[in-house]
Homo-oligomer: A and B are copies of this chain.
Amino acid sequence: MAEALSVTSGELKPVSVPLCPLAMASNPEKELLCIFGTGDLGRSLGQRLLQTGYKVVYGSRRPHSCGPLPQGAQVLSHEAAARSTSLIFICVHREHYGFLETLAPQLKGKVLVDLSNNLKKDIYPDTNGEYLQRLVPGAGVVKGLNTLSAWALQNGPLAGKQVYLCGDSGEAKQAVTEMATRLGLSVLDKGCLSAARELEDFPLQLFPAWRLPLCLAVCLTAFFFFYLLIRDVVYAYVEQDKDISFRIMVSLANKVFPIVSLIMLSLCYLPGVLASFIQFYRGTKYSRFPNWLDRWLLCRKQIGLLALGFAFLHVIYTFVIPIRYAVRHKLISRVVDEMKNNKTTPFDFDNTEAWATDSFFALGILGFFLYVLLGLSSLPSVGGALSWREFTFIQSKLGHLTLVICTAHGYIYGWNKFLRLSTYKWWTPPGYMLCLVVPSVVLVLKLLLLLPCVDRSLTRIRQGWERSEPGGGSGETRATEL
């Protein structure tokens, strides 16, 4: 498979396998790879390579005292190890690359895979990969696979995992790609060695795709928290001289969470609607969207999952209501009050109220159920088992249905309150009104897109058709392609 790795096995003694030395030695076709460094990464990598059917030799400064190594691997001095094979993994900290300069003659023409990572960004002027190439100019340095950790190599399957590499030598990259493919990895070539900066920054990232959605969630939560704090707690304290600060922990949180959840859910579907309008306006699907829209489209999944998180919190907060001290106290004092004052008003059962609250709950439950379904289909293993049409059906049809139901849940909540003046404390609208703006806009826009004439145009545009410009029929050609 990997002809480029012709092993110069002249110098190498037969690999000493503890248990069945004869049998293994009789199998001369296995390729030999070399690993410099016997740390966690070196050992885990060696074990994987042995499992995949390679022979492995370690290069070590002290071949006779380098701790436990995978069964079946051999240890030699750096020099001897370098001479025995054509592909060498460098599993050593950059600080200690110095010794490689002295090995330059032995490393000439070899493929060096630099797997090193730094602890922080930008602590060195040049990247580890370029530094290594400068030290050993005669070797083909390939920077890559550095997203593989010792932990990932020891646990679980590598199959299908995407790794990156870069380097100036095409042959060297080819050799590494073949080795990585045999390990089950999926390799993406990032170009010349100058791309090493990007590769070395990968493992230092912490949830990069979540940064924007998390920012958004925190901002929305903070805004609505303070808005409602002022409207509810501060207002009661100032105007009615009541201390209801205890409400912050549960009541207020249980107002903020559903509001943020609904807004996030609608923000998850807004960019798709905007993109459709842009396509419809431009009459083609081949021109790029503005950058902000591209970024927004790419983090829809994260926005949706955060919305689900907030909905989950909202649901649990709601279930806790009846066991709260304040709620029980209110219930008891209300009864006692009624009895003492002999009022009978509350005992008239209000059928409309019963319908409204029960519908409110039923819609909320249904919405949450669909929310959970959407979340489940976002699990890599579930989503991966769906066909494209099924995934679209769930994320688009079910998604918009969820938005409709949750928005209706919000509308019913305030169905009889928005006309009362007392709702507008200090002339501010209540939170649930604010939170209904974005979803309502999204739903109206989506409805416009579903109008037959718009829908027909859009379907044609998405199949590759382009609205004919005055210039000519270039739309025709495009429309031929899948």
Partner-B contacts on A (CB < 8 A): 1, 3, 19-20, 22-27, 29-30, 37-42, 50-53, 61-62, 65, 67, 71-72, 91-93, 95-96, 115-117, 147, 149-152, 156-162, 167-171, 173-174, 177-178, 181-182, 184, 186-189, 191-192, 202-207, 243, 245-247, 249-250, 253, 286, 309, 312-313, 315-326, 328-329, 331-336, 338-339, 346-347, 349-351, 353-355, 357-359, 361-362, 365, 368-369, 372, 379-385, 387-391, 393, 463-464, 474, 477-482
Contacts and interface: CB of A to CB of B under 8 A. Distances in A.
A336 B333 contact: no
Nearest to A327: B323
Most B C-beta atoms less than 10 A away, residue of A51, A65, A96, A325:
A325
Contact of A316 (B24, B52, B167, B368): B368
A116 B480 CA distance: 11
A480 B93 contact: yes
A170 B382 contact: no
Contacts of A362: 249-250, 253
Given A316-B368, A384-B156, A385-B380, A361 B249 contact: yes
Contacts of A204: 389
A93 B476 CA distance: 12
Contact of A20 (B168, B245, B326): B168
A51 B185 CA distance: 11
A333 B313 contact: no
B189 A51 contact: yes
A168 B23 contact: yes
B365 A313 contact: yes
A192 B20 contact: yes
A236 B318 CA distance: 31
Contact of A249 (B22, B359, B372): B359
7 contacts: A152-B388, A157-B159, A202-B387, A246-B358, A313-B365, A319-B319, A322-B322
A159 B184 contact: yes
A246 B382 CA distance: 38
B170 A24 contact: yes
A284 to B, nearest CB: 10
Contacts of A71: 191
B346 A187 contact: no
Contacts of A368: 316
Contact of A353 (B158, B249, B325, B354): B325
Nearest to A357: B325
A482 B381 contact: no
Contacts of A42: 481-482
Contacts of A157: 159-162, 186, 384
Nearest to A190: B19
A330 to B, nearest CB: 9
Contacts of A158: 160, 186
Nearest to A151: B388
Contact of A318 (B171, B323, B480): B323
A464 B39 CA distance: 8
A316 B313 contact: no
Contacts of A384: 156-157, 161, 380-381
A167 B326 CA distance: 71
Nearest to A3: B29
A188 to B, nearest CB: 5
Given A37-B482, A157-B186, A361 B53 contact: no
A53 B181 contact: yes
Given A24-B170, A318-B320, A380-B385, 5 more contacts: A117-B482, A157-B160, A249-B359, A323-B361, A324-B357
3 closest A-B pairs (Cβ-Cβ)? A157-B160, A159-B160, A39-B481
Contacts of A182: 181
Nearest to A178: B53
Contact of A188 (B51, B250, B326): B51
A27 B174 contact: yes
Contact of A380 (B29, B382, B478): B382
Contact of A205 (B3, B151, B335, B387): B387
B332 A354 contact: no
A220 to B, nearest CB: 17
A164 B449 CA distance: 36
A27 B171 contact: yes
A264 to B, nearest CB: 16
Contact of A481 (B91, B246, B318): B91
A334 B331 contact: no
